[in-house]
Amino acid sequence: MSKSNETPSSPAGDDRNLVSNTEPAAAPELEEVVRQFWEKNRSLLLGLVAAILLAILGRNGWDAYQAGQVEAAREEFAAAESDDQLKAFAADRAGTALAGVALLKVADKAFTEGDYTAALQGYDAAAAELAESVFVDRVQLGCAMSQLLGSDEAAGQTSLRNLANDTDAAAAVRSEAIYHLAALALADANADELDALSTQIDSINPGSGWAQRILLMRSTLDVDSSETGSEGEIAFETP
């Protein structure tokens, strides 16, 4: 028997040893992908860019308008001098901190002039505008002192005590409230109250001018007691 001249197949009997002449299709170039995406979504992209630009311009325009309004308000506030002008400014700018400051100026002026009823009304009006500002404690102190020096001393003392005990209030305002309470205690020769107030202010604002004044009050009261005559008369008046 003659040998076959056929080429033997692979051991597995398949074509795994044969190399294919077919090349894989080349992937699209990135530039072409981008071009196709742009052509397909051109309108959407242009609209999106336009919207972003308009938003930026609108925000900048609004900020510029707001800044102009603030500057105009400051100029109007600086120009207001009389009570009527300040009240008119506050009415026009209701809901702003500057409106509250204008009313606070009116109240302070009334307080300085000894018109405690008008001062209290002014502080109450200012409080409505400055409830969330750094002036809130200052306004409360003005209300308390207007009550104390006006026609409602008991309410004034209560307001001062509430302010003195308010841990959220500024230390300087609490210290002044304590000082005024100490002055009342000195007038009543209440040494125990003075001691308590001295301890309280030392825990809040030690070494401050208010603390030193209260310490002087306490020492003055001690001197008054030691200098009292045999008939119970005080040798000199307290300051």
Domain annotation covers residue 29: no
- Is residue 43 a part of any domain in this protein? yes
pTM assigned to the model: 0.64
Domains in the chain: how many in total? 3
Is 145 within a domain? yes
- In whole angstroms, what is the distance from residue 182 CA to residue 194 CA? 6
Same domain as 183, residue 120: no
Domain boundaries, position 145: 80-150
Is there a domain that residue 22 lies in? no
Q: Has residue 15 got a pLDDT over 70?
A: no
Arithmetic mean of pLDDT over the chain: 78
Evaluate if residue 143 carries a pLDDT over 90.
Answer: yes
Average pLDDT over residues 97-105: 91
Q: What is the reported pLDDT for 220?
A: 85
Query: Per the domain annotation, does 12 fall within a domain?
Result: no
SS3 state at 2 = coil
84 located within any domain: yes
Same domain for 84 and 68, yes or no, is no
| Distance set, CA 174 to CA 11, 138, 211 (Å) | 101, 10, 11
From CA 81, how far away is CA 31, in angstroms rounded?
Answer: 70
The predicted pLDDT at position 26 comes to 53
Q: Are residues 227 and 238 in the same domain?
A: yes
Pick the range with the lowest mean pLDDT from 12-16, 26-30, 152-156. Answer: 12-16
Higher local confidence (pLDDT), 213 or 43 = 213
Same-domain check for residues 176 and 232 = yes
19 located within any domain: no
Q: Are 161 and 180 in contact (CB under 8 A)?
A: no
